[in-house]
Structure 1
Amino acid sequence: MHVLVLGGTTEARRLAEVLHPRPGLRVTSSLAGRVAAPRLPPGEVRIGGFGGAAGMAAWLREHAVGAVIDATHPFAETISFNAAEATATTHVPLLALRRPGWVPGEGDDWREVTSLAQAARAVRDAGRRVFLTTGRMGLAAFAPINDAFFLVRSVDAPEPPCPPHMELLLDRGPFTLDGEREVIARHRLDVLVTKDSGGAATAPKLTAAREAGLPVIIVRRPPTPGGVPVAATVEEAATWVQTLSGAPFGSASG
């Protein structure tokens, strides 16, 4: 069975590592190509868009795909809805693999918003030295703010428009708690802006923000397309593939 993994996340790469060695499975990972030097998973890899839902449907037919797992970033809304439409058109089973979102703990000062535009408006009342960890896409929402400093952390350099008072920190997770504490202290940051990406790789910034008394402006996730089943772990997704393929291949951790 040919399995298409819509990837770009740690979970997608781990899933490819689990599925690729299994007999009877052909695994192709699809990456958007927005990162200059992505960590490539095992198996076949394609890079670039499909050309919308119709283009994806054509690709599924051409390559005889038997199952699709949407393991993209929780905020990759367009590709998720394209996948739902393409698989419905071609009658190919679809599963969404989504790491659980973050949950505030005691002492957290979280201010939830639904978009980057709302986050930019919230910044004006929250602080003047901003730790902006929403990625390089969407910085235009913060470009009009000229009375605040932004430390922008991103894997790759962003393109303008960007905030006028900005320092760029090129780095890739996972991050450590000590490292996040040092970043906040060294740059004298007083507010954190992030997306609810979930997972452990970038969660230490939330703990460091709580310890430092920083408010956290957090962008809530967009909804998963209706009717699409969701797996929370790589193991659950691998079991789903096993059930579809009818071929036992042992533990998902092997």
Structure 2
Amino acid sequence: MSRATLLILGGAMEARGLADAAVARFGDALDVETSLAGRTRQPRKPAGRVRVGGFGGAAGLAAYLEARAVDLLIDATHPFARRMPWNALAAAKTAGVPRLRVERPPWSPGPQDRWIEADDAADALAKAAACGRRLFVTLGAQEAARFAGRPDLEVTVRLIETDGAPAERPGFRLIAARGPFEPAAEEALLTHLGAEVLVTKNSGGAATAGKLAAARALGLPVVMIRRPPPVPPPRVETPAAALDWLASRLAERF
């Protein structure tokens, strides 16, 4: 019996759990490799093989799929990844490799939430500044850079790592922390900072949802950046559903 090769494009928190579960469930029937972009210096390594770095666009990924004789491709990049899901779609088509997109569902506002939707970081900054002066921002380093040049605001940005972020200055502070974050701790942090507005993006998931509960409890407005347009199906929302897809594909193969 030949061994199938699975390439997981990592970036979302689901990727590591998916790799671990795939190795545990399918064992020697599946050779699992996870590709990480390398933007985080100390990522949590998944089971199986790991590669770090880009592919050189859709053409480079297609060439990699063909050179490594990859049988199955799962795109588990972040919900806000704008290029890689489309590169994966094109590369899988070129190489003739079955592809699956794993994307957790977005958050939805409840009746007590005060959400203001935004298109991007620039739009979020404008809308947040109209709501208050003290902002708590949970965006990536590149997006958060837009908030560094506003001396009229007091901005606290939380990142997994501060590499690539603008330098701190009076009125612009960085916090390095990795979730999950509990609602009570988030409420205490927002209270300590005197935050008047929460700025975030609709990543979904339970690990970082505590800030939304905290903002709700404190009655704070939330400026929420919308997700980019999704790639076409097949798509699933959970690693468990992705494992079922893998099982179906492996059954077809063998």
Tell me which interval the TM-score lies in, with the shorter structure as reference length: over 0.9
Q: 2:77 — aligned with what?
A: 72
Q: 1:251 — aligned with what?
A: none
**Can you give the 5+ residue segments of structure 2 that lack an aligned partner in the other structure?**
none
Distance (Å, rounded) in 1 between the aligned partners of 2:148 and 2:168: 4
Q: 2:146 — aligned with what?
A: 141
Distance (Å, rounded) in 2 between the aligned partners of 1:137 and 1:183: 23
**Superposition deviation, residue 168 in structure 1:** 0.9
Distance (Å, rounded) in 1 between the aligned partners of 2:144 and 2:72: 35
Distance (Å, rounded) in 2 between the aligned partners of 1:224 and 1:107: 28
**Superposition deviation, residue 163 in structure 1:** 7.8
Does the residue aligned with 2:32 lie in a helix, a strand or coil? strand
Does the residue aligned with 1:246 lie in a helix, a strand or coil? helix
**Can you give the 5+ residue segments of structure 1 that lack an aligned partner in the other structure?**
249-254
Deviations 1:93-113 (A, max 9, x none): 111101110010121000001
What RMSD in Å do the two structures reach over aligned CA positions? 1.6
Distance (Å, rounded) in 2 between the aligned partners of 1:228 and 1:68: 13
Mapping 1:66-215, distance limit 5 Å: 66-159=71-164, 161=166, 165-215=171-221
Deviations 1:180-239 (A, max 9, x none): 0111011100100001000000001001001111100000100122x3311011111001
Distance (Å, rounded) in 2 between the aligned partners of 1:116 and 1:6: 25
Q: 1:223 — aligned with what?
A: 229
Could you tell me which amino acid in structure 1 is paired with residue 245 of structure 2?
A: W
- Within the alignment, does 1:10 sit opposite 2:13 as a pair? yes
Number of aligned residue pairs: give it. Answer: 247
Instruction: Tell me if structure 1 keeps the 8 A contact 2:16–2:45.
Output: yes
161-170 or 182-191, larger mean C-alpha shift: 161-170
**Superposition deviation, residue 121 in structure 1:** 1.1
- Within the alignment, does 1:242 sit opposite 2:247 as a pair? yes
Could you tell me which amino acid in structure 1 is paired with residue 81 of structure 2?
A: A
Task: Give the TM-score normalised by structure 2.
Answer: 0.93
Change (3 A) 1:162 1:221: farther
Deviations 1:1-57 (A, max 9, x none): 111111122211111011113131111001110001000000000011111111111
Task: Give the TM-score normalised by structure 1.
Answer: 0.93
Distance (Å, rounded) in 2 between the aligned partners of 1:94 and 1:215: 38
Does the residue aligned with 2:109 lie in a helix, a strand or coil? coil
